[in-house]
Chain A
Amino acid sequence: EAQVTQNPRYLITVTGKKLTVTCSQNMNHEYMSWYRQDPGLGLRQIYYSMNVEVTDKGDVPEGYKVSRKEKRNFPLILESPSPNQTSLYFCASSLSSGSYEQYFGPGTRLTVT
């Protein structure tokens, strides 16, 4: 089954404790992206990757890191989480960076206390 998976689905952590949210897709998609969703703000892009070893900042990259060492995986790293990073995070992938349908993961709800 073609899908995008994320782990963990829910996470409660404390300020400053490094964490990684994993994202994996099995559709051989070149393009992957991370969004955060906050009430009243819609979906805002954090980072994206057009292919292996190619990543770039989106609209709200501060406080986040990513890597793309393999085509299928695109982890999101929070080196020192802060309460303002409490949010719902979605990973997405598409065939390429062109205007193609994005397939979203199930979401990760992160709470930083």
Chain B
Amino acid sequence: GENVEQHPSTLSVQEGDSAVIKCTYSDSASNYFPWYKQELGKRPQLIIDIRSNVGEKKDQRIAVTLNKTAKHFSLHITETQPEDSAVYFCAASPETFGNEKLTFGTGTRLTIIP
């Protein structure tokens, strides 16, 4: 089955700086890669996703890049703000299967230092 590794497990960044979280996956059939954000004590929420027919996707201060050859994808947050502090999870699945084969990474706790 799919194995998703996520790094780093914790990340501290000065407010205003950029943060990068990286994930690698093992199954070459995976082609759907969502990112979920979980604030302290809250439920996970989708913040951005990418499918294998694109290499990069942006949504305001958040971007995700995908390298299918190397089997890795990354989340980039620019101009970080205190409200970006949360745990971020990457995930991967074969799009033909979708959510029933979605495998999550172990999470990155991002702390924004004011």
A: residues with CB less than 8 A from B are 31, 33, 40-45, 48, 50, 56, 58-59, 90, 94, 96-102, 104-107
**Residues on the B chain within 8 Å of A58, using CB:** 100
Quick check: which of B43-51, B57-65, B67-75, B77-85 contacts chain A, the rest being far away?
Answer: B43-51
7 contacts between A and B (CB under 8 A): A42-B104, A45-B100, A56-B100, A59-B103, A99-B49, A100-B98, A106-B42
Contact status A102-B105, CB under 8 Å = no
Contact status B102-A45, CB under 8 Å = yes
Tell me the interface secondary structure of chain B in the complex: mixed
Contact status B95-A101, CB under 8 Å = no
Query: How many residue pairs, one in A and one in B, have C-beta atoms under 8 Å apart?
Result: 63
How many B residues are at the interface, by size bracket?
20 to 34
B: residues with CB less than 8 A from A are 1, 6, 9, 32, 34, 42-46, 49, 51, 89, 93, 95, 97-100, 102-107
Contact status A33-B99, CB under 8 Å = yes
Complex Cα distance, B101 from A102, in Å, reads: 13
Complex Cα distance, B34 from A94, in Å, reads: 13
For the complex of A and B, list the 8 residue pairs with the smallest distance between their C-beta atoms, beginning with the closest.
A99-B32, A104-B43, A98-B98, A42-B106, A43-B104, A99-B98, A101-B46, A42-B104
Contact status A101-B34, CB under 8 Å = yes
**Residues on the A chain within 8 Å of B103, using CB:** 59
